[in-house]
Amino acid sequence: MGALYSPSSLAGKWLGFVTAVWVQAISGNNYTFSNYSHALKTLMGLTQLELNSLSVAKDVGKAFGLLAGVASDRLSTPVILFIGSLEGFIGYGVQWLVVSQRIRPLPYWQMCIFLCMGGNSTTWMNTAILVTCMRNFRKNRGPVSGILKGYVGLSTAIFTDICSALFADNPAAFLVMLAVVPAAVCLASMVFLREVDPSAAAAEAGDEKEESKYFSVFNVVAVVVAVYLLVFDVSGKHGPGLSRAFAGGLLLLLASPIGVPVYIAAKSYLDNREKCSDLEEDKIREPLLISDTTQTKPEEPKLEVAKKKPAIGEDHTIFEAIRTVDFWVLFVSFLCGVGTGLAVMNNLGQMGLALGYVDVSIFVSLTSIWGFFGRIASGTISEYFIKKAATPRPLWNAASQILMAVGYVVMALALPGSLYIGSIVVGICYGVRLAVTVPTASELFGLKYYGLIYNILILNLPLGSFLFSGLLAGFLYDAQATRVAGGGNTCVGAHCYRLVFIIMALACVVGCGLDVVLAFRTKVLYGKIQASKRSKRGAVRVLK
């Protein structure tokens, strides 16, 4: 039975995917800065511009994700996970020492380095997970991206709600979780997550419909987790007993996907026993039949070849990819979406305080949870419409950019409840942008150098954070605070971020135009992808 869980087996491959989900569920620590930024600001005596620059430092860590991308073609998945876990443990561990006041606040430049390390740790985790899983499940890149990126989006709410339930919103305790939990989960995942040989994966995986069925189970569990978190967030304050019960239930839900590889292993075990039994009977009753079956086996690999994925984008080297117009259209449109979204996530705490909210953690959780729905839905839906109508994935990005622009306009109006609406809309659209761009890049430029291509695109996170959060939001906020508060660094009122929201809405309109252009440029490509998926299903039916 143990052989059924080897990394090269079907059950082992799905067990690796389960551990990948767990890693993603705790690897969104880079999005949790708002939960402890006020503590850093107070302890270090920072202005808002300095605090925003500190948030940029953590996002600059993603710029060094190019190292993880290069390493993904040379190092094994466990090694990459280990590097990420160690770096995160050090980066967030030092921040905990400062916030808990076990050491005196470090000089500003040193804090920037440790925040950068914490941000960079996620690039190693995400690269190891995404590259390995996209290669292991080549026929379902949309669902893989949606599920994995969805759990990254949920991870902010998971960390925030568990910390609120167990440690009563203690920033120091929160940072302990950010340092220890991802490191522990990555070390566990190193045992099970491996890249499976494509030919072996094709032989084991069965047809695309069977694989999609298992992904549906992961989608259902993920939605249940998201709803569970949402109910806890909107149901008000909870007592210690109920909060601990909530945390226990959440951990059980996160563990439940282990049922998929267990089911596959049990099914494979029973099928093997039945085949062995039938084989014994055939040997007794009809030995010539066994001989005839053996003679036909050499023809099977020819049929399996028809199931392999098409060569779309496989010939692109790194330099060939970055020399194309399509790459840069995708890059700049991605910048408009994730850059503005990051500005909101990094400044949600200050935005809430500016509008008179005392508890701003609800906005962080709302953005996280609805970002999950955007990620998981867009991955599956975009995959469905490729198979159904050859709809280019960039069209979904275009739709998300327009909706995000509307969200920024609503937040700029600062009507009652507008920050709730804006947090939800920005969360959804940011999630769509991430989940759709990941498989789009692999379809345009292939999987051979995908780790590095992915991390080049992710450069938009530090770049967008610097442009929209560090410069735009930080500068305009401090300008308003100086004029209104007589030189202070606190601004209260709708005017604090109104111009920021308007400029970000315009950026999203530009991003939408670029996505529409890319959709037209890739229309033929997605027609070929649709045709290849249909031919694969036909080949599977022939094999059956």
Tens-place pLDDT, residues 457-504: 888 877 888 888 878 887 887 777 755 444 456 778 888 888 999 999
Check residue 8 and give its pLDDT. 64
Higher per-residue pLDDT: 480 or 105: 105
Residue 543 has pLDDT above 70, yes or no: no
Determine phi and psi for 393, rounding to 5 degrees. Answer: -60, -35
Higher per-residue pLDDT: 373 or 198: 373
Higher per-residue pLDDT: 261 or 289: 261
Measured in whole angstroms, how far is the alpha carbon of residue 449 from the centre of its chain? 19
Residue 197 has pLDDT above 80, yes or no: no
Mean pLDDT of 202-229: 79
Residue 406 has pLDDT above 70, yes or no: yes
* Terminal Cα-to-Cα distance of the chain (whole angstroms): 26
Q: What is the largest CA-CA distance in the chain?
A: 97
Q: What DSSP string runs through 32-86?
A: -GGGTHHHHHHHHT--HHHHHHHHHHHHHGGGGHHHHHHHTTTS-HHHHHHHHHH
Check residue 480 and give its pLDDT. 76
Considering the chain, what percentage of its residues have pLDDT values greater than 70? 85
Q: Which two tokens stand for residue 229?
A: 């978190």
Check residue 5 and give its pLDDT. 56
- Residue 69's pLDDT band, with cuts at 50, 70 and 90, is confident
Higher per-residue pLDDT: 521 or 477: 521
Higher per-residue pLDDT: 542 or 328: 328
Measured in whole angstroms, how far is the alpha carbon of residue 441 from the centre of its chain? 15
Cα–Cα distances in angstroms (integers) from residue 318 to residues 67, 267, 518, in the given order: 14, 42, 19
Residue 519 has pLDDT above 90, yes or no: yes
Check residue 122 and give its pLDDT. 87
Among 341, 320, 472, residue whose Cα is nearest residue 30:
341
Residue 438 has pLDDT above 50, yes or no: yes
- Residue 187's pLDDT band, with cuts at 50, 70 and 90, is confident
Residue 505 has pLDDT above 80, yes or no: yes
- Residue 506's pLDDT band, with cuts at 50, 70 and 90, is very high
Mean pLDDT of 447-464: 85
Residue 216 has pLDDT above 80, yes or no: yes
Check residue 542 and give its pLDDT. 45
The 10s digit of each residue's pLDDT in 114-173 is 988 988 888 899 889 988 998 888 888 888 988 998 888 788 778 777 777 777 668 888
Q: How far apart are CA 162 and CA 363, in angstroms?
A: 16
Asked whether 238 and 203 are in contact (CB, 8 A), the reply is no
Q: Lowest-pLDDT range, 16-25, 192-201, 227-236, 511-520?
A: 192-201
Check residue 94 and give its pLDDT. 92
Residue indicated by tokens 């948030």? 55
